[in-house]
Structure 1
Amino acid sequence: MTDLNEYLEETIDDIGGFGLFQWILVILIFGSKITDNWSTLMMTFGGAVPNWRCDLTTLDGLEINEYNISDLAFCELTTTNSSVKCNSRLFEPEMSTVVSEWDLVCERSWIPSTITSLQMGGVIAGGFISGQMADTIGRKLTYASALSALLVFNTAAAFSTSWQMLATLRFFIGMGCGFVSSVNFTFVLEFTTRQSRSLLRFLPCREVFGILYACLCWWLHDWRYIQIGTATLVVPFLLLIIW
C-alpha cells in the first residue's frame, strides 16, 4: 500500500502537480460545502422564537382585573383561586420560523431542539455510511448522491405540512450533510500534491459560509424561503461536479 501511495504521489507531481484541474476541483468541492453548511445551520433560524403574545380573545371567562398582566407572553396565568391557560398565541409577522409556523412554545417548546437532535443524528448516520459507500462505488458518485439528497430533501422540507414531517426530512438532510462532510476533504486530497494539503485544511470555508448564511436570514426572514434558497444553491455545484 505504501508503494502504491508513493506511486500516486509521484504521478500527480509528474503530470503537473497543483495545476488548473486541481484549482477547479478545490473551488467546486470546497465551494459546495456551503450547501452542507447552510443545511446544517437552518434550525438556528428555523428554531428561533419570534416575539409573541397570548391571544386574549381565546380565553373564555377571563376577567383581566383578576390578574396582574405586565407581559402578554405567558403560557398560564395563576391566582390563588383560579388558573387560565393560554390556548392560542399571536406571533410577530416580520419573522417566520418553525416555531411560529406550528406554535412550538410553552408545552411544545421541546420540539425545535428535538428536530435539531434528529438532524444531528442523521449527520452521525451519514458519516458512518458514507466512508464505506465512497470506497465501494467511488467518491464522485457518492458525493453527487449526497448533493442530490440535499437538493431533494431541502426542497421537500420547504413544503412541510407538519413539524413531524419536517423532523423526518431534517433527519435525511442531516444524513446528506454527513455524507458531504465525510467525503469532501478526502475527495480533494486524492488529486492534490502533499505540499498543498496542509494549506487546504485550513481554508476558512465554514466561517465564511456561516457569515453568508446570517446575511441570507437577515434578508429573507422566512424559514421556507431559506430552505428553498439552500436547495437552489446545490444545483450549480451538482451539475459542475458531475461534469
Structure 2
Amino acid sequence: MEWDDLLREYLGEFGRFQKFTALLAILVGPTFGMSLVAMTFLAATPEHHCRVLGNSSSVGHRYQAEGYNFSVPLENIGGTWKPSSCLMFKESNSTTTPGNESTACTHGWEYDRTIYQSTIVTEYDLVCSTAWLKGLGQSSFMAGTSIGGVFFGTLSDRFGRRPTTVLCLLLHLALSIGASFTSDYVSFIVLRALDGAAANGLYFTAFVLGTFDSNM
C-alpha cells in the first residue's frame, strides 16, 4: 500500500475544512512579504537640501529656488554640478551675501515632497551624517524575524499552532499600526523588531498548520 493511500485511509480526504485552513494559511504570506519590503517605501530618501532661513519651501511640494541659490554650494555629482544636499555656506553679517566657507546644515533640511509626502527619513532627518541610521529599520526587522522564528516555533509546539497563529496575527497588526504613530526613531526600530518577530512567527506557524491540515 502506498503512503498516500495510508494517509487517506487513516486521516481522511482533503475536505472542506482542510481547504479553508490552507486558504487562510496562504493569505498570511502576502502580509509577511509586504512587511519585509515595507522599508523600501518607509525609508525612501527624497531630494533634499539645507533649510535656509526665510525659505518657505517646506509648505509646498517642490523646491523654491528663492532663498537658497546663493546659500547652498554646488557639488560635482557624477559629472553634474548640483546644489549640495548636506552643506550650506556659513552665514555672514551681510543679509544678501553668504560667507565663503561651507558648513553642515544648521537649520535642518527641506525635502522634495513631490513623490513622498512623509517617510522616516523626512520625519527624523535621517540624511547626511545620520543617513546610516536608516538601515537600522530593516536590520532590526530582520533581527526580529530571527528571534521570532525560534520563540514562536517553540511556543507553537507547547500551546498549539492555531493559538500561536492567532496571537502572532494580533501582534503583527498592533505592532505594524503602532510603528506608524511613533514619535521618535528609537521607538520605531523597537516596534519594527517586535513586528519582525511576530510576522515571522505568523508565517512559519501558518505554513506548518496549513501543511499539516492539507495532508489530513
Does 1:117 find its partner at 2:139? yes
Deviations 1:120-165 (A, max 9, x none): 1100000111221111000000111100101111111111101111
Distance 1:155 1:12 in 2: 43
- Secondary structure, aligned partner of 2:110: strand
Q: How does 1:74-89 map to 2 (within 5 A)?
A: 74-76=85-87, 82-87=101-106, 88-89=108-109
Percent identity of paired positions between Structure 1 and Structure 2: 24
The question of whether the paired residues in 1 share the 8 Å contact of 2:121 and 2:134 is answered with yes
Look up the match of 1:209: none
Q: How does 1:39-54 map to 2 (within 5 A)?
A: 39-54=35-50
Look up the match of 2:25: 29
Higher-strand-fraction structure: 2
Q: How does 1:196-207 map to 2 (within 5 A)?
A: none
Distance 1:54 1:133 in 2: 50
Distance 1:84 1:152 in 2: 42
Greater Rg by CA: 2
Residues 111 and 12 (structure 1), Cα distance of their counterparts in 2 relative to 1, 3 Å cut: farther
List runs of 5+ in structure 1 lacking aligned partners. Answer: 1-5, 195-243
- Secondary structure, aligned partner of 1:56: coil
Instruction: Compute the RMSD of aligned alpha carbons.
Output: 2.9
The question of whether the paired residues in 2 share the 8 Å contact of 1:53 and 1:91 is answered with yes
List runs of 5+ in structure 2 lacking aligned partners. Answer: 56-67, 76-80, 91-99
Distance 2:191 2:42 in 1: 14
Equivalenced residues, count: 185
Structure 1 stretch 138-147 or stretch 85-94: which is displaced more? 85-94
TM-score (norm. length: structure 2) = 0.74
Look up the match of 1:182: 204
Q: How does 1:140-219 map to 2 (within 5 A)?
A: 140-193=162-215
Report how far residue 17 of structure 1 moved. 1.7
1:72 to 76, 80, 83: 83
Q: How does 1:126-137 map to 2 (within 5 A)?
A: 126-137=148-159
Residues 68 and 120 (structure 1), Cα distance of their counterparts in 2 relative to 1, 3 Å cut: closer
